[in-house]
A and B are shown apart, each in its own frame.
Chain A
Amino acid sequence: MSRDLKLFVVDTGPLITLAAAQSLDYLLFINVDVIIPDAVLHEATFDAARLGAQDIIEWVKAHRASIEIAPTKVYEIFDAARSTIPNLREPDLGERAAVEVIEEPDRLHGNERGLLLCEETAVLKRVVVRDRDRIVELSTLDFLRILEAEQRIQSAEQVFELAAQAGRTASRVEKLREHNEGARIAIRGLVKRREPSSER
């Protein structure tokens, strides 16, 4: 990507809302690297029957050149624990992984800046933002409204309405639980461990 800007998707809300509205590609409209912590992807997709889950996995696979699934210690430990406790759940797993990724000292280089896309300002309260001049948090609706103002999409509100409509019909897709293991394997395949010696 050409610009010194990175888009961090730091909780599941934006992914699920946009997937439900069939609008995940909007995240790519600004032509920057998109970074999703592994545990956030896990939370959004761990049950393939969940609203938007399959779409999110397919979307990430289709855009691997633009999307980095950032590995975290938090998720690594969780994933290891799941081998002995298959039904293990940690509701704040994604949040903790997001904090870990955002706080990585080498995440932003030189003049690079970061947009943190989330529904949860609570996530950001846990982050020690080193340089507020270089990092800005946005909600999904903020992001969509900017795209609308730039005439890249027709209507931010329409996206939310589409997501709400999908929510009303979500029960029809809750028949794919056997795909759970497949989703887990898919996430493993998408996560690329960062090797210190090969970064950049």
Chain B
Amino acid sequence: MIAKEKQALEAYSRGEMTALELRRRLGGATYGEVLRLLSEEGLPLPRAPTAGREEQIARARAWMFPKHVA
């Protein structure tokens, strides 16, 4: 993997780049290949930040499990 590709992979892992953009930069890699490359480089899967989305996540939870609706 060339340095540019690794930088892109690291940026994706930090949540600073979309998977689609990363896949383009990796020459049309599939998401499965992205997962493999992350593992090979010892990088974590990106975690979508929950800050600012608490309300919508709570709403989704209430829809998924209606008993929690107040």
Contact = CB atoms under 8 A, between A and B. Distances in A.
B39 A165 contact: yes
A91 B19 CA distance: 11
Interface of A, secondary structure class, is helix
Given A30-B65, A141-B48, A146-B60, A20 B35 contact: yes
B28 to A, nearest CB: 5
A25 interface: no
A52 B32 contact: yes
Interface of B, secondary structure class, is helix
Interface size bracket, A side: 35 or more
A51 to B, nearest CB: 3
Interface string B21-50: 101100010111101111110001111101
Interface string A19-48: 010000000001010000000000110010
Given A115-B60, A122-B18, A53 B32 contact: yes
- Most B C-beta atoms less than 10 A away, residue of A32, A142, A160, A166: A142
Contacts of B24: 91
- Most B C-beta atoms less than 10 A away, residue of A20, A44, A92, A146: A146
Nearest to B23: A91
Given A91-B20, A91-B28, A136 B56 contact: yes
Interface of B: 18-21, 23-24, 28, 30-33, 35-40, 44-48, 50, 53, 56-57, 59-61, 63-66
10 contacts: A5-B63, A17-B35, A50-B30, A115-B63, A119-B31, A120-B18, A142-B53, A166-B35, A167-B35, A167-B37
Interface of A: 3, 5, 11-13, 16-17, 20, 30, 32, 43-44, 47, 50-53, 89, 91-92, 95, 113, 115, 119-122, 136-139, 141-143, 145-146, 149-150, 160, 163-168, 170-171
